[in-house]
Amino acid sequence: MLNKEEQKAILALLHREVVPAIGCTEPMAVALCVARATETLGCLPDKILLHLSANILKNAMGVGIPGTGGMIGLPIAIALGAIGGKSCLGLEVLRDCTDKDLSLAKKYITEDRIDIKLEEDDPDKLFIHVHVQAGDKCAEATIKGGHTHFVDDGAVSTSTPEHETAPSLTLRQIYKFASTQPHDDLSFILEAKQLNEAAAEEGLRENYGHQLGKTMCSPLGRGIMGDSIFSKILSVTSCACDARMAGAKIPVMSNSGSGNQGICATMPVVVFARENHNTDEELIRALTLSHLTAIYIKQSLGRLSALCGCVVASTGSSVGITYLMGGTYEQIAHSVKNMIANLTGMICDGAKPSCALKLTTGVSTAVMSAMLAIQNKYVTSAEGIIEDDVDRSIHNLTSIGSRGMDVTDRFVLDIMTHKQ
């Protein structure tokens, strides 16, 4: 059993990393940093200069910005952050922006007030520095290492909860915590179900992105995919991602700073539990297991990397589904090995509407991996990067994603910024 201090630390970690967010978290983090700098300045800036890490640029280039009527990319997020953003709202920084704010932001963009540069010196993959100026006044703000983690900005030095020291985890510790922690301590995780289900409903109601979720629910989709648990898991997850990536102004429950990871760790588990008639308590424990598994993997992978986050989050959902099937710890470990053997190497080429396709790939693999695992079928240490120890297998995955794919990351950004 885990001791009280370990339980407390893991519960605090879960509360820190599973939080609501509106819009893709990279442009929202940029808007947040702009909002903080503007608040420090005390007036609307004449000029905004930003230095951004390559991974921030990559994840903010092609994604819809909430409340803008389909506008994409950083300039509108930056302008709205300065005009109507509220840093106290964290990753929901643009929640209270009005139509008037949007009109002013569109005009601000046309006035050539924003200058975006690639950060060349700081090695952190999540780095945002904002310098704002109005007349002879100026102010700065910097976010580094976490989407809401401000470092010294010339006015305030903060260490947000996101950046607190995290407990060292293993998959077995996560399983013990999720399966034995008092039910009432974990019930807050149901907010992830509520928010992400609402996002899925929005994705089905309107025509967002590539409409992958709607296509799966159409007569064509049902004619090909049927009306199985599997097809429902894929369509519901895709609907939520379609809406979020296209800029729907709705909150989703994120995981480790990513809304897509939050959707991917939540919706497959929720749909399976409903179709499998699991109890509320079983669902709560499965969601806890799914989200904590994703958090654990991200601890060594890093907030941003060349590896698509759906690999991480769908591994969490596979663990959660295996649990709902009645799986033991050993079978849960089998599902993780099956996932790593299949999806390692999927690149992240930025946040964009087609992320729904990647989420669906990850989630379909999650279901297959759970189906094999519950029958004690799994990829063994004789194959590829899998080891007998599941935690070592996880660290093989994260080593490839964080270090082995660094050159890939640079190639991807170069392609994205030099398309003809």
pLDDT tens-digit map of 37-50 = 999 999 999 999 99
| Alpha-carbon 320 to chain mean position | 17
Residue 35: domain span: 24-163
Assess whether 176 and 76 both reside in one domain.
no
Assess whether 136 and 199 both reside in one domain.
no
Q: Which of the four pLDDT bands, split at 50, 70 and 90, describes residue 60?
A: confident
pLDDT tops 60 at residue 101: yes
SS3 state at 121? coil
Q: 129, 163, 197 — which closes off a domain? A: 163
Q: What percent of the chain has pLDDT over 90?
A: 84
Assess whether 145 and 214 both reside in one domain.
no
Q: Report the CATH number at residue 355.
A: 1.10.4100
Domain count, the chain: 2
CA dist 191 → 237, 241, 250, 266, 273 (Å): 16, 17, 14, 10, 16
Assess whether 186 and 334 both reside in one domain.
yes
Give dist(CA 196, CA 204) in Å, integer.
12
Q: For the segment 173-227, what is each residue's pLDDT rounded down to a tens digit?
A: 999 999 999 999 999 999 999 999 999 999 999 999 999 999 999 999 999 999 9
Is residue 4 included in any domain, yes or no? no
In the predicted model, what is the mean pLDDT of residues 142-160?
Answer: 70
Mean pLDDT for all residues in the chain: 93
Is residue 202 included in any domain, yes or no? yes
Q: 116, 138, 163 — which closes off a domain? A: 163
User: With helix as H, strand as E and coil as C, how does 126-161 read?
Assistant: CEEEEEEEECCEEEEEEEECCCCCEECCCCCCCCCH
Q: Which of the four pLDDT bands, split at 50, 70 and 90, describes residue 73?
A: confident
As beta bridge partners, residue 258 has 255
pLDDT tops 80 at residue 341: yes
Q: 163, 189, 218 — which closes off a domain? A: 163
Q: Supply the pTM of this predicted model.
A: 0.91
Q: For the segment 216-256, what is each residue's pLDDT rounded down to a tens digit?
A: 999 999 999 999 999 999 999 999 999 999 889 899 999 99
Task: Find, among 419, 52, 27, the residue nearest to 244 by Cα.
Answer: 27
Is residue 1 included in any domain, yes or no? no
